[in-house]
Amino acid sequence: MSAASLQDARVRLAGRLVLDQVSLCLEPGELVALLGPNGSGKSTTIKAALGLLPLEAGEARLGDVPLRALGPRERGRRASYLPQTRRAVWSIEARDLVALGRFAYGSAPYERLSPADRAAVDEALERCDAADLARRGVDTLSGGEQARVHLARALAAGAPALLADEPAAALDPRHQYEAMALLRAEADSGRGVLVALHDLHAARRWADRVVVLDAGRIAAQGAPGEALDAGVLAQVFGVREGEGGFVPD
């Protein structure tokens, strides 16, 4: 049973077809990198898989159940989401924001969480190197600090599927590495992890599989070493491998 899946998904936004015939199965224990140029449909795919955008055609499932048959709490038990835009503009403590990750088990501020939920929040903050930020107002944190707290919220949910939209954006090199290592560890512990990324090197390093989107359709998929070949790099991303990194083709 897959952790999350899309079958022949089609999404239209403001009259424009932005996803078409996208099928994707996220298996327990794998980290899948969702790649593609700006506007290719990565965020839309993640939102569609979570039921945050309506499908014009096709089906989304969490576990073996169609999304339409699941209420919000059951969806929250099955999948956690790290959105691309994650600026908090209201003043709550970081640990209360992470506690929101436990909403599917009965939402409460940190002070009123059960010991098990509190432990999940503390552990997630610790793993994201954010324990020292726990009592800070999230609106007082730097962009990267906020990103680590939001990642902790997504981890605290402990759901079988974890869908993260550019989790390493705004992070410094060490925290970028650590965030990807954390997501890898989540996959190794049995979760299905889907990560939208721009960093092709990171995809090669961390992902079991890549899915490459181009203009709302799947252009390539497979093991990173095979799917990210010279043709896909040139045709989809307009780059080639040069000395020291990717350069415009």
Ligand X SMILES: Nc1ncnc2c1ncn2[C@@H]1O[C@H](COP(=O)(O)OP(=O)(O)OP(=O)(O)O)[C@@H](O)[C@H]1O
The binder of ligand X chosen from 3, 30, 41, 233 (CB under 6 A): 41
Q: Residue 49 class from Cβ within 10 Å (0-12 exposed, 13-18 middle, 19+ buried)?
A: buried
* Rounded Cα–Cα distance for residues 36 and 181 (Å): 21
Q: How far is the CB of 127 from ligand X (least distance, A)?
A: 26
Smallest distance, ligand X to C-beta of residue 129, A: 25
Interface pick for ligand X out of 5, 26, 31, 40 (rule CB under 6 A): 40
Rounded distance between C-alpha atoms, residue 40 and residue 236, angstroms: 10
Work out whether 80 is an interface residue with ligand X (CB under 6 A).
Answer: no
Contact 129, 175 (CB under 8 A): yes
CB of 189 to ligand X, least distance (A): 27
Q: Which residues, including other chains, have CB under 8 Å from residue 48's CB and lie 6 or more apart?
A: 6, 9, 11, 19, 22, 55, 60
Q: Residues touching ligand X: how many (CB under 6 A)?
A: 13
| Residue 141, C-beta contacts closer than 8 angstroms, at least 6 positions apart | 94, 133, 149
14 belongs to the binding site for ligand X (CB under 6 A) = yes
- Would you count residue 39 as binding ligand X (CB under 6 A)? yes
Contact between 43 and ligand X (CB under 6 A)? yes
- Give the three-state DSSP class for 144: helix
What residues numbered 122-141 form the site for ligand X, per CB under 6 A? Answer: none
Part in contact with ligand X (CB under 6 A); list of ranges 12-20, 185-193, 218-226, 237-245: 12-20
Residues 19-38 that bind ligand X (CB under 6 A): 36, 38
The rounded distance, in Å, linking the Cα atoms of 86 and 196 is 15
Instruction: Please enumerate in sequence order all residues whose Cβ is within 8 A of that of 135, keeping only pairs 6 or more positions apart, or say none.
Output: 93, 94, 95
Beta carbons of 23 and 7 less than 8 angstroms apart:
yes
- Using CB under 6 A as the binding rule, whether residue 16 contacts ligand X is answered as yes
For ligand X, which is the closer residue by CB, 53 or 152? 53
177-216 residues near ligand X, rule: CB under 6 A: none
Q: Does 176 bind ligand X (CB under 6 A)?
A: no
Residues of span 84-113 touching ligand X by CB under 6 A? 84
* Near ligand X in 225-244, by CB under 6 A: none
Minimum Å distance from CB 205 to ligand X? 20
Identify which of residues 125 and 212 has a Cβ nearer to ligand X in the complex: 212
Residues 57, 66, 25, 41: what is their CA dihedral angle, to the nearest 10 degrees? Answer: 40
Residues forming the site for ligand X (CB under 6 A): 13-14, 16, 18, 36, 38-44, 84
